[in-house]
């Protein structure tokens, strides 16, 4: 079972995950990396989890890699970073592949690996006071945790270069303006609004959401013909599912559907 660096709270079909190293800015060390990976393994295999909400405890979402921890391993730095990145990357890959939509509630500064983790959610909500910065090259490091994949797709190659090379700090509203995140809320309203959306996902057509994620994962690597084949497969599969039948029937009869995730 994952340890105490990630808190877990189940609310029906919604799983709330909270990074839990507030005294260290929720920075990523080996224990948190390992717990993150193991938690995502559990989420992706637990059919009762139909939505995930990821946030951080305290005033900072995640400050990135724990540089003090890195320095304590300066004699085996390469091996330590290799282990950590493989765990974090494995968890992020599972986030993209799992059926459940993932809402990220960025409650405070997201820097370095925290910046990468924040934008890897399917839906990204931010507190008004939050700040976003790539930060890696400020410590003579290069980006990890998926940001070289997601950032250019979200904001374009030119803007991604600028943000990663200059480490410019973005306010939540600036991040919203360039398409890095989806919505900004007051600090007090963030968790309420993020949980509201995550609960909607938890009560929705899980397989259809999974298809959206899978289809968008292939959109930049497939030809038009290939993508059309993927679309045909998924819509036929979903229409033939229990939730698909329910959704079609409810829509035609103008009633509220009752989804089970199947």
Q: What stretches in the chain show pLDDT beneath 50?
A: 1-2
Distance CA 192, CA 194 (A): 6
> Which strand (E) or helix (H) includes residue 197?
helix 190-202
- pLDDT at position 67: 93
- pLDDT at position 1: 42
Residues 185 and 56 in one domain: yes
Residue 110 belongs to a domain: yes
- pLDDT at position 52: 98
- pLDDT at position 2: 45
Decide: 165 and 193 in contact? Cβ < 8 Å. no
Distance CA 29, CA 168 (A): 24
- pLDDT at position 3: 62
Residues near 201 by beta carbon (within 8 Å), at least 6 away in sequence: 14, 50, 51, 100, 101, 103, 209
- pLDDT at position 25: 96
- pLDDT at position 56: 98
| Domain end among 202, 217, 235 | 202
Residues 176 and 230 in one domain: no
Residue 262 belongs to a domain: no
Residues 82 and 211 in one domain: no
Residues 114 and 16 in one domain: yes
Residues 101 and 61 in one domain: yes
Q: What CATH number has the domain bearing residue 104?
A: 3.90.226.10
Distance CA 232, CA 119 (A): 29
Distance CA 68, CA 73 (A): 9
0.85 cut: is pTM over it? yes
- pLDDT at position 220: 93
Query: Strands (DSSP E) along 90-188, which ranges?
Result: 102-106, 109-111, 123-127, 131-133, 170-171, 183-185
Beta bridge partners of 170: 132
- Domain hosting 129: range is 6-202
- pLDDT at position 175: 98
Distance CA 85, CA 36 (A): 11
């Amino acid at each position: 079972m994952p340890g105490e660096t990630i808190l877990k709270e189940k609310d029906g079909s919604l799983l709330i995950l909270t990074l839990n190293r507030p005294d260290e800015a929720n920075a990523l060390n080996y224990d948190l990396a390992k717990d993150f990976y193991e938690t995502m393994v559990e989420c992706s295999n637990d059919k009762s989890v139909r939505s995930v909400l990821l946030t951080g405890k305290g005033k900072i979402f995640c400050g990135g890699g724990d540089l003090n921890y890195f320095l304590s391993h300066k004699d085996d730095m390469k091996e330590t970073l290799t282990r950590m990145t493989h765990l974090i990357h494995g968890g992020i890959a599972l986030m993209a592949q799992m059926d459940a939509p993932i809402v990220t509630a960025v409650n405070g500064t997201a820097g370095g690996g925290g910046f990468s983790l924040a934008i890897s959610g399917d839906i990204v909500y931010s507190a008004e006071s939050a700040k976003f910065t790539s930060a890696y090259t400020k410590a003579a490091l290069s980006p990890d945790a998926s940001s070289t994949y997601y950032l250019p797709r979200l904001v374009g190659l030119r803007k991604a270069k600028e943000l990663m090379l200059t480490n410019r700090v973005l306010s939540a509203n600036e991040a919203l303006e360039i398409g890095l995140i989806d919505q900004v809320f007051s600090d007090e309203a963030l968790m309420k609004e993020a949980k509201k959306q995550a609960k909607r996902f938890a009560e929705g057509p899980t397989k259809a959401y999974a298809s959206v994620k899978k289809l968008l994962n292939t959109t930049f690597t497939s030809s038009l013909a290939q993508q059309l084949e993927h679309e045909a497969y998924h819509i036929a599969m979903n229409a033939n599912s229990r939730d698909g039948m329910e959704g079609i029937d409810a829509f035609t009869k103008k009633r509220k559907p009752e989804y089970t995730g199947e």
